[in-house]
Amino acid sequence: MKTEMARSRMERFSLAERVSHWLVAISFVYAGLSGTALWSKAMWWTAGVLGGGEMIRAWHPIAGVIFSLLLARLFWMWNRAMRLDAQDREWLKVGHKYAMHMEEGVPESGRFNAGQKSLFWLQSTSATLLFASGIVLWFPELMPRTLRLMAVLVHPIAALASLGGIIVHIYMSTLVVPGAFTAMTRGWVSPEWAKSHHPKWYRETSK
Amino acid sequence: MQTVAKLIDTTQCIGCKACEVACQEWNDQEFTLGTFNNSYQTMPDLAPNFWNLIKFNEAEQNGAQSWLMAKYQCMHCADAGCIKACPAPGAIIQRANGIVDFEHDACIGCGYCITGCPFDVPRLSSKTKKVYKCSLCSDRVAVGLEPACIKSCPTNCLSFGTRHDLKFLAEKRVSELKSDGFENAAIYDGPGVGGTNVLYVLKHGDKPEQYGLPKDPRIPWTVSLWKGPVKWLGNLVFFGGLFTALVHFLAIGPKEHKHED
Amino acid sequence: MTNGWTDVANADVVLVMGGNPAENHPVGFRFVMEARRKRKAKLVVVDPRFNRTAAVADSYTPMRSGTDIAFLGGIIHHALTNKLYHEEYVKLHTNAAFVVKEGFGFENGHFSGWDNTKGNYDRSSWQYETDASGYARIDPTLENPRCVFQLMKAHYARYTPEAVSNICGCTAEEFTKAADLICSSGKPDKTGTILYALGWTQHSHSVQLIHTAAMMQLLLGNIGRPGGGVNAQRGHANIQGSTDMGSWNNLPGYLKIPRANHATLDDYLKAYTPKPLRPNSLNYWGNTSKFMVSLLKAYYGRHASKENGFGYGNIPKAGETENYGWGHFFDNMQKGQLEGFISFGMNPVANGPNTPKMLDALSKLKWMVVVENFETETAAFWNARKLGEKFYPTYVEASNIQTEVLLLPAACFAEKDGAFVNSSRWLQWKKAALPPPGDAKVDQEIMARIFLKVRELYEKEGGTAPKPLLEMTWDYANPLSPSLEEVAREVNGRDVATNKQLNGFGELKDDGSTVCGNWIYSGSWTEAGNLMARRGQEDPTGLGLYPNWSWSWPANRRILYNRAGADSTGKGWDPQRTPLRWDGTRWIGDTPDYKADAKPEDMGAFIMLPEGVAKLFAADLVEGPFPEHYEPVESPVPNPLHPNVSHNPLAPIFHGPLDKLGEAKDYPYVAITYRLTEHFHYWTKHVASGSQLQTNFFVELPEALANEKGIKGGDLVRVRSARGMVEGPALVTKRIRPLRVAGKTVYQVGIPIHWGFVGRVRGPLVNNLTPSAYDPNAGTPEYKGFLVNVEKV
């Protein structure tokens, strides 16, 4: 019975990973919403939802720092696993086939496929940029003008890059790949799921 | 309503700092202590409680000693970089008379206006978390009074009136200076920002930097990019992303994993 | 000011020398700017520093502090040799034609009559040659070698551009350029004004310096004319009023102080009532008896009768040759000759020269009352050792000072009504803006309470001389705090019989039937009311005289000597700017400085002078009838003109233990003290705004000197004189140029006043450095042009 269970439920994400992921997600959502308010008058209504302009001015950078710290933790946990190898590079070349659910010619994935890895690096990079430019924007009175002038451009562009990635990420994990959401909430996947989406990982873990 | 303006005839400025005190007193700003920086100028820069600064610059013009003094404050640009950069609706407004005014109730203290300003004028208070700058005494102007700095100026270096009249006055003054042999005398009023409602008459109009004024003030290109193309890019990313997902979902749909059997 | 602030706008040339109006009189300076805008006037600045005024000037010439007489003497020479003076004016309105006695001369730095043992002049050879009736002889052709004109020409022949350059340190070309600009006002249709202040008055030869300026203006025909004059910019809101109302050397209205040898009123009047020196001289001071008797009536009221010389006996008499000027007063105090001292709105520790001496003097007192807005350095002098540790390391410990100090809080200017007399001689009545805070009282209440208490004690206990106090009139509605309206009415004067206010000093009598507190203010509060409170902005002459704005002494006259603004027929020199003209029956324009219905040829234009004309040659001053360049008491070079008589031979110099003088070998640099626009004296360091605008004491150093000493801007430097020391950051600037004087390079060091050991912001007292040397005529200390050394700390 026990082995049966173990076989039908594979641990995909540890509790620590899941907690980190969701805290990152929450802080991202907050920073994102408040950020769009700060970015465009068309989105100013979100400031109202979040308690007003002064509130978001105060908490957006704090949320940003929390996001960055938690992301740094995820980075620490995942960066080895996220390194792109030769197969991944092959994968990326035929990424469109993956998007079209074609399996032919798409290299098999390990724990993370090359798309996920790319997302990871995209988020890590943009978060670094967001953090650096965010500190500049947080204390404009202390920062040299040149830095501020760079930051006002870097911060939104990095945020957009991040947002673009996250749209794909959310869409994929909720609507495109059934079971992926459970993986990040409950932490497990079925062996079938693993075999199907991450065959290499399946093979390695069930050895 | 006519656009109002302030004229600063630097050839008549004696650096007495009366305008500095008048500004702080009228606007109820706390006095602090100055610093020493090998100059008569004790306030190094504008500050949240200090919106009007006279810059002192020693220079030599064709071998002759000169000591240039120029008042420095919000320029009330027609195309105001601060307004462009400000995210909070109603925090910075351009009044019908051209005054660029801060509404501190709406200000969230992000400080984007400081970066947006080509003249580097607004200042963020770490105490109140709001940004401050010269309001051209919009409260006084609204009831028909001249701004406090103008009122305090002993030499008539400062004048207040409609922009149209002051431009005329400034042109007259410049032609006087030219006839006195100052060929480079010029009006400084920031055409790059659609014209400023603070006009300067400079004896050495070819070198505004000597007075501590930027040579060709414009809204910084990064700010223009940020508030223009980058915004369109943002819309593209957001809406484009959603649209692509929708089409993908409808056309291709979820990925089913293979069953063993 | 002979003219007034608003009149400066009428000038074609504005010479700013010994002053820095953009810095210290920015509000009045607007009229300079107006002259430049409206008349294209040239602003000429001559100053040791390229200052705030120079920053907006048309011409700037550097000079060494204390050499102004050489510079102006050079201009006199320039005007005479190049015929740039206004000849007709000089002949008509000055004593150029007066013939001086044989025996007058000048040699090796001394005028004739020098007594080496007394250190004084016998002035008999400086007098005019007189005819049988006692009138001075004149030579209208100006050719007599002993006439003033020729003597003057000879005296200033030494003041060539090269000599000026050698003394003052500017180049001869720079001097000539400035001289040409200044002398361009010598044409009849041009006028030039002079604005000066403490840069001229704070020397050991300051009165002679003003005399030189007056001579220059007379030669250029600029006295009595709109846009002309010799204009002293007064430094305090009411310092003109305080001078007018009498200080140590005069009674109100410039009546002279009685001396011990003037036992009776008749003696006094005989000594001080001048006789006319020309048949056509009105000699207005001939009325001295009327002014004096009316003043005595104001002092002693019913106790003043013809029989007792109107109470003249009550007035304290100064010793025959006694001097009570600042220097002597504090010297006496230091010697322990004074028991008590009331310092009323005065801060001698800060603003007296040689602070260590001031501190020492105050410590010898038994008691001192300080009436002030703040606790000043004077009120806190006993704590100087602790508060100014660095600067007074050897001063007495507080515990060893026996002086009892009483600090009485006084109302400040905005808390009092009354009149301010400004530089323009306008008596401007003002209202109190708010009541004094806390226990602070208005000045007159403090004075009245002290007076009444002392009088009460005299009444009860008697004393050496109770009469002057007991007989003093004090019939105010509230004796404890007389209203200033009552006092102002009394100052204007009234007719005793009718009790009506007088219309002016013309109505004064010397028989005791009129009362007048100050004859020159008579007319300020007539039956028509308080004319000082007027704010009429009418300008009928178009010259900015504003006759209905406040009230100007004397007689609401806006331009002094305005009769000299017209020629021998009574026509203005410049038809565009005529302050006064004769229409055949009377004078039209400003209040005439002349008899209102006297024909132009009837009398001389200068009605106050016995000559009836202005004095190019003035035997009244103690060190010579012509101004001569004397070096400051401490000078980097011996006088290039006469090295053996280097500084003013009459300058009072003290020789007490703290009155040291330095020499150029130990103290090679010339120091000047000055004020900053951001501060008012030693007051605004107690105020938030002033403390922000100029927070730190500093020392202005020429860049070349700083380079020589390896000093950078902001480095801490120590400045020492033979008296004391100051310390502060260096402000290194090109605005103070090194000068070439008598073959060597001379550096000048600028030190602003305003700091002290109490207040919101603190710093050294600049008077730690200044010498105990004074002008012999006015008693002003030599705050400018003394020697120091500079070192990097």
Residue A7 pLDDT exceeds 60: no
Evaluate whether residue C367 is within a structural domain. Answer: no
Q: Which of C33, C39, C58 would best serve as a mutation to test chain B binding (most B beta carbons within 10 A)?
A: C33
Q: Which of C792, C594, C640, C645 is nearest to C712 (CA)?
A: C792
Residue C706 pLDDT exceeds 80: yes
Task: Quote helix, strand, coil % in chain C, to nearest 5.
Answer: 30, 20, 50
Evaluate whether residue C745 is within a structural domain. Answer: yes
Residue C678 pLDDT exceeds 60: yes
Measured between alpha carbons, how far is C305 from C297 in angstroms, rounded to an integer?
A: 8
- Predicted local distance difference test score (pLDDT) of residue B175: 95
- Compare CB distances from B111 to A53, A140, A179 and report the shortest one's residue: A140
- The answer to whether C570 and C600 have CB atoms below 8 angstroms apart is yes
Measured between alpha carbons, how far is C538 from C229 in angstroms, rounded to an integer?
A: 23
In this complex, how many residue pairs, one in chain A and one in chain B, have their CB atoms less than 8 Å apart?
119
**CATH code at position C194:** 3.40.228.10
- The answer to whether A25 and A166 have CB atoms below 8 angstroms apart is no
| pLDDT tens track for C710-753 | 999 999 999 999 999 999 999 999 999 999 999 999 999 999 99
| pLDDT tens track for B19-44 | 999 999 999 999 999 999 999 999 99
B104: DSSP letter: T
Measured between alpha carbons, how far is C583 from C546 in angstroms, rounded to an integer?
A: 21
Measured between alpha carbons, how far is C131 from C232 in angstroms, rounded to an integer?
A: 37
| Confidence band of A5 (pLDDT split at 50, 70, 90) | very low
- Predicted local distance difference test score (pLDDT) of residue A207: 65
pLDDT over 90, % of chain B: 87
Measured between alpha carbons, how far is C293 from C511 in angstroms, rounded to an integer?
A: 7
The CA R_g of chain A, rounded to the nearest whole Å, is: 19
Residue C702 pLDDT exceeds 60: yes
| pLDDT tens track for C571-614 | 999 999 999 999 999 999 999 999 999 999 999 999 999 999 99
The CA R_g of chain B, rounded to the nearest whole Å, is: 24
Q: Is the dihedral of CA C285, C287, C292, C297 positive or negative?
A: negative
Mean pLDDT value of segment B13-23: 95
Evaluate whether residue C694 is within a structural domain. Answer: yes
Tokens of C667: 């103290």
How big is the CA angle at C634 (ends C631 and C636), to the nearest 5 degrees?
A: 75
Q: Any CB–CB contact under 8 A between B257 and chain A?
A: yes
- Predicted local distance difference test score (pLDDT) of residue A91: 85
Residue A3 pLDDT exceeds 50: no
C54: chain B residues, CB-CB within 8 Å: 65, 67
**CATH code at position A191:** 1.20.950.20
Domain final residue pick, C186, C212, C235: C235
A171: chain B residues, CB-CB within 8 Å: 245, 248-249
Report the interhelical angle of A145-171 vs B229-251 (nearest 10°).
10
| pLDDT tens track for C333-383 | 999 999 999 999 999 999 999 999 999 999 999 999 999 999 999 999 999
B257: chain A residues, CB-CB within 8 Å: 178-179, 192-193, 195-197
DSSP class per residue in C231-253: EE--SSTTHHHHHHT--TTEEGG
| pLDDT tens track for C9-46 | 999 999 999 999 999 999 999 999 999 988 999 999 99
Residue B260 pLDDT exceeds 50: no
Q: Which of A90-94, B229-233, C85-89 has the highest mean pLDDT?
A: C85-89
pLDDT over 90, % of chain C: 97
- Predicted local distance difference test score (pLDDT) of residue B146: 97
Evaluate whether residue C166 is within a structural domain. Answer: yes
What end-to-end distance do the CA atoms of chain C give, in Å?
A: 44
Evaluate whether residue C737 is within a structural domain. Answer: yes
The beta strand positions in A89-191, using DSSP E, are 188-189
| pLDDT tens track for A20-67 | 899 999 999 999 999 999 988 888 999 989 999 999 999 999 999 999
A100: chain B residues, CB-CB within 8 Å: 252
Evaluate whether residue C181 is within a structural domain. Answer: yes
Evaluate whether residue C148 is within a structural domain. Answer: yes
| Confidence band of A93 (pLDDT split at 50, 70, 90) | confident
Collapsed DSSP state (helix, strand, coil) of residue B151? helix
Domain final residue pick, C235, C263, C297: C235
A148: chain B residues, CB-CB within 8 Å: 114-115
For A34, the closest chain B residue by CA position comes to B87
Q: Which of C76, C24, C70, C28 is nearest to C46 (CA)?
A: C70
Tokens of C647: 């500084």
| Confidence band of B253 (pLDDT split at 50, 70, 90) | confident
Chains that touch A (3 or more CB pairs under 8 A): B
Match 């009189």 to its residue by tokens.
C25
Q: How far is C171 from chain B (nearest CA, A)?
A: 15
Structural domains in chain C (count)? 2
Measured between alpha carbons, how far is B203 from B174 in angstroms, rounded to an integer?
A: 8
| pLDDT tens track for B131-184 | 999 999 999 999 999 999 999 999 889 999 999 999 999 999 999 999 988 999
pLDDT over 70, % of chain C: 100
B27: phi > 0 → left, psi -120 to 50 → alpha, else beta; which?
alpha
Tokens of B108: 């969230």
- Compare CB distances from B226 to A99, A101, A153 and report the shortest one's residue: A153
Q: Any CB–CB contact under 8 A between B233 and chain A?
A: yes
For B246, the closest chain A residue by CA position comes to A171
Tokens of C171: 């180049």
Just give the CATH number of B4-218: 3.30.70.20
Tokens of C628: 């001569």
Per the structure, the complete domain to which residue C687 belongs is given by 669-792
Structural domains in chain A (count)? 1
Instruction: Please give the mean pLDDT across all residues of chain C.
Output: 96
Measured between alpha carbons, how far is B232 from A40 in angstroms, rounded to an integer?
A: 11
Tokens of C118: 């007394």
Which residues face C534 on adjacent strands?
none
Contact at CB, C692 and B33, closer than 8 angstroms = yes
- Predicted local distance difference test score (pLDDT) of residue B74: 97
B191: DSSP letter: G
Evaluate whether residue C785 is within a structural domain. Answer: yes
Chains C and A touch (3+ CB pairs under 8 A): no
The beta strand positions in C50-139, using DSSP E, are 59-62, 106-107, 110-111, 114-115, 120-121
- Predicted local distance difference test score (pLDDT) of residue B257: 58
| pLDDT tens track for C628-666 | 999 999 999 999 999 999 999 999 999 999 999 999 999
- The answer to whether C407 and C443 have CB atoms below 8 angstroms apart is no
Contact at CB, B237 and A137, closer than 8 angstroms = no
Q: Any CB–CB contact under 8 A between B83 and chain A?
A: no
Q: How far is C577 from chain B (nearest CA, A)?
A: 24
Q: Which of C197, C179, C219 is nearest to C20 (CA)?
A: C197
How far CA C706 is from CA of A121, C76, C766, in Å, comes to 59, 36, 20
Residue B62 pLDDT exceeds 80: no
Contact at CB, B248 and A176, closer than 8 angstroms = yes
Q: Which of C365, C66, C342 is nearest to C198 (CA)?
A: C66
| Confidence band of B258 (pLDDT split at 50, 70, 90) | low
In A22-41, the residues whose Cβ lies within 8 Å of chain B are: 37-41
Residue B205 pLDDT exceeds 70: yes
CB atoms within 10 A of CB C386: 13
C504: phi > 0 → left, psi -120 to 50 → alpha, else beta; which?
left
Chains that touch C (3 or more CB pairs under 8 A): B
Contact at CB, C34 and B156, closer than 8 angstroms = yes
Contact at CB, A196 and B257, closer than 8 angstroms = yes
Which parts of A51-113 fold into alpha helices (H)?
A: 53-78, 86-93, 95-99
Collapsed DSSP state (helix, strand, coil) of residue B213? coil
Domain final residue pick, C193, C220, C235: C235
Measured between alpha carbons, how far is C1 from C495 in angstroms, rounded to an integer?
A: 31
Measured between alpha carbons, how far is C568 from C318 in angstroms, rounded to an integer?
A: 43
Contact at CB, A39 and B257, closer than 8 angstroms = no
